[in-house]
Amino acid sequence: MMVRDDARGFASHPGEEVHVTAESCLFCRIAAGEIPANVVRSEEDVVAFRDINPQAPLHVLVIPRRHIPSVPALEAADGALVGRLFLVARDIAREEGVEEAGYRLVVNVGPAAGQSVPHLHLHVLGGRELDWPPG
């Protein structure tokens, strides 16, 4: 039996599958403009918006418009898109004034690592000292 945790889109029990479609994915709906967000960058293949629960003065999420659940779903053909995510993150850090002091880029993979939305996304964090190790 498939169990879905609607707030996160992940299975409630290990080993159970959950299929999130572009129509039901929170980030796909933000990218499509169906759900409001504080968008800081909108391009053909990439959207970036401020996190609703920021962990630093600068906390922006950079996502592909196309639904990709997480890193394991990436294919070799996605290399240019992944590169674009990083370039957009770099540009946002520069535009937000944190490039020189430093910033952190984070990709969480799966619920145990803190991925709360099953759509590939890159966190851009900055504007304060960031502890190490994280978590």
Distance of alpha carbon 84 from alpha carbon 100, whole angstroms: 21
Distance of alpha carbon 48 from alpha carbon 9, whole angstroms: 20
pLDDT band at 134 (very low <50, low <70, confident <90, very high): confident
Instruction: Say whether 123 is catalytic.
Output: no
The catalytic residue among 59, 119, 121, 123 is 121
Of 113, 122, 118, whose CA–CA distance to 25 is shortest? 118
Lowest mean pLDDT among 7-16, 46-55, 122-131: 7-16
Higher pLDDT, 13 or 58: 58
Q: Read off the pTM.
A: 0.86
Of 117, 118, 121, 81, whose CA–CA distance to 105 is shortest? 121
Q: How far is CA 6 from CA 61, 68, 129, in A?
A: 20, 18, 34
pLDDT digit string, tens, across residues 72-98: 999 999 999 999 999 999 999 999 999
Q: Which fold has domain 4-126?
A: HIT family, subunit A (3.30.428)
Tell me, what's the pLDDT at 7?
A: 39
Distance of alpha carbon 7 from alpha carbon 74, whole angstroms: 24
